[in-house]
Amino acid sequence: MRWTLKPKPEASEIKHLAQQLKVDETIATLLIQRGIKTFEKAKKFFRPSLDDLHDPFLMKDMEKAVLRIEKAVAEGENILIYGDYDVDGTTAVSLVYSYLQEQYKNIATYIPDRYGEGYGVSYQGIDFADDNGFSLIIALDCGIKAVDKVAYAKEKGIDFIICDHHRPGEAVPEAVAVLDPKQEDCQYPYDELCGCGVGFKLIQALGSRSGATINDLVPYLDLVATAIGADIVPMTGENRVLAYYGLKVINESPRAGIKALSKQLKKRLAIYDVVFVIAPRINAAGRMKHGQHAVQLLTEKDINIAIKYAEEIENFNTERKSLDKQITEEAILQIKENNEEEHMTTVVYNENWHKGVIGIVASRLTETYYRPTLVFTKSGEKLAASARSVKGFDVYNAIEACEDCLEQFGGHKYAAGLTLLIDQYEKFKEKFEKTVAETIDKRLLTPEITIDAEIDLNEISPKFYRILKQFAPFGPGNMTPVFMTQNLQDTGYGKTVGKENDHLKLTVTQNNSPKIGAIGFNLGNKIEKAANRKPFSAVYSIDENEWNGKTNLQLKLRDIK
């Protein structure tokens, strides 16, 4: 692990903000590092307000989209709500469908089959719309690159409204409206919305025409918060406001489907629980069976029916876990057998691997080997892959540089997908390795822990932690604060815990400061560094440990040296 301490802001700047806000200098440092340098900005940060959401009509084509939907409703047209099969897509479809259904009945949902149709807008989906008399398709979390598909729909007399957040290609589809804040000529003030976030801006615009206020739309934010967490978009600006209020809905009055998914969690849910408990289950539907199961769950109003759907999805998730473990083991074996451990990239392929879990396997391999990773499997007559990257390296750009080998590709800086013809696999693998080797900063191939501040143990108090908790919800651009402390000593009772003794449990002190508990998941192999009261340094975040009805602060260790 590389430990990188963030540069400390100017002392005068820290002092000034600390005095303005009546907080200690460490808190002021953390705020300045997040771009919060004034009392006003701090107020907005600690008290997110729905008033800070932008006017949806600032988004390019929003007026056109709203007028087209109003026309469809007025004339009794059939509307198809179409979205991708992952969490962002299924929540976006559920959101727009739930909203429109309140006032209009000629609507249906469509999620493409991951195996039969693949990602995004499909010809099969357009044929379904044509066969069933749909004259308007609202595409969510996909469509920005579907130039040919939208043209095909147009020939059949079907209009498209695209709500996407992926990077556009050179040409934009000739849809009635294209809502995507990443378009260069879109003046919308915030371009980091997820697909479900763009869908929310659409219903916000529609609602404003019929007198609905933002408070009327708050019940839909449980879906938006789930998508923001799952899609790992920046937890800044508008996303942070939407996630903050969405978490409130999840905890206080969630829709039946989310309530059914989270019923085993007896505590107040944080964004972490959304990302690691709710999202994987929603995703499991599209991975193992069909994304339509997720939409069915998220749009169901009867809690008893929702619980049945949630149980079904839980089974998909159990199956997914077992598969991804097996495939990860096979992929690691393949890397070792081919002596590819020294490469700059990880590219593996097996025609029998389940397409629904290759993205998760790519993430696991990235954790293991820490380099840009692609996992391929067979998809019809072609090969399909999921890509994942390491912090600081744009895998989308690296894939784009190999475009001549590909059929299609799309995605983000850290996660992408692609398809290619079987005979292009070796050529692509070679070119991708070469591209990454020539462009990556070699330091990025060692995992980095970014440290916000160095502190002493005696700075950690209940008041300090109460303020830290108000930095939530956490995510890219506003990560959980990470601290470093030097000259720590275990009190002599340090041990490894867990079935395989994988985890490290310590009670630490620094220069006779009060003792504090510490837990390091998967750091059991570092017990020697802290044994026999040897001094060591630690990087950690702070959280609470509940045990026997008592709650104490503890250090959640990231690494020790």
Distance CA 374, CA 431 (A): 13
Written as one string, the DSSP assignment of 225-280 is: HHHHHHHT---SHHHHHHHHHHHHHHHHS--HHHHHHTTT--S---HHHIIIIIHH
**Each residue of 413-429: pLDDT tens digit?**
888 999 999 999 999 99
Which range has the worst mean pLDDT, 239-248, 256-265, 517-526? 256-265
Q: Look at residue 383 and tell me whether its pLDDT is greater than 90.
A: yes
DSSP 34-49: TT--SHHHHHHHHS--
| Strands of 415-421's sheet in order across | 346-349, 373-379, 382-388, 415-421, 408-411
- Please provide the CATH number assigned to the domain covering 338-445: 3.10.310.30
pLDDT band at 250 (very low <50, low <70, confident <90, very high): very high
pLDDT at 266 exceeding the cut of 70: no
Q: Do residues 201 and 61 touch, judged by C-beta distance below 8 A?
A: no
Residue 164, classed as helix, strand or coil, is coil
Separation CA 110–CA 103 (nearest Å): 19
Percent of the chain with pLDDT over 70: 100
Does the pLDDT value for residue 160 go beyond 90?
yes
The pLDDT value recorded for residue 487 is: 96
Strand partners, 10: none
Contact 262, 254 (CB under 8 A): yes
> Which among 392, 555, 387 has a CA at the least distance from the CA of 476?
392
Answer whether residue 340 shows pLDDT above 80: yes
> Where does the pLDDT of residue 115 fall: very low under 50, low under 70, confident under 90, or very high at 90 and above?
confident
CATH of the domain spanning 2-9+449-560: 2.40.50.460
Kindly report, residue by residue over 278-323, the tens digit of the pLDDT: 999 999 998 888 999 999 999 999 999 999 999 999 999 999 999 9
Contacts of 83 (CB under 8 A, 6+ apart): 89, 90, 92, 93, 109, 110, 111, 139, 140, 141, 142, 195, 291
- Give 193's contacts (C-beta < 8 A, 6+ positions apart): 165, 181, 201, 233, 238, 239
Greater confidence (114 vs 433) lies with 433
How far, CA to CA in Å, does 43 sit from each of 1, 52, 249, 353? 35, 12, 22, 50
pLDDT in tens, 190-200: 999 999 999 99
Question: Per residue in 204-213, pLDDT tens?
Answer: 999 999 999 9
Residue closest to 295 by CA, chosen among 262, 257, 250: 257
- Tell whether the model's pLDDT for residue 169 goes beyond 90: no
Over the stretch 386-413, which tens digit does the pLDDT of each residue have?
A: 999 999 999 999 999 999 999 989 888 8
Asked if residue 265 has pLDDT above 90, the reply is: no
Determine the 3-state secondary structure of 362 from DSSP: helix
Report which of 378, 396, 403, 424 is spatially closest to residue 118, judged by C-alpha positions: 378
Sign of torsion, CA 235 236 239 241? positive
CATH architecture of 56-312: Alpha-Beta Complex (3.90)
Domain ranges of the chain: 2-9+449-560, 56-312, 338-445
Q: Which two tokens stand for residue 505?
A: 């449990």
Query: DSSP character for 501?
Result: S
Interhelix angle 292-299/87-101, nearest 10 degrees: 40
pLDDT per residue over 127-159, tens digit each?
A: 999 999 999 999 999 999 999 999 999 999 999
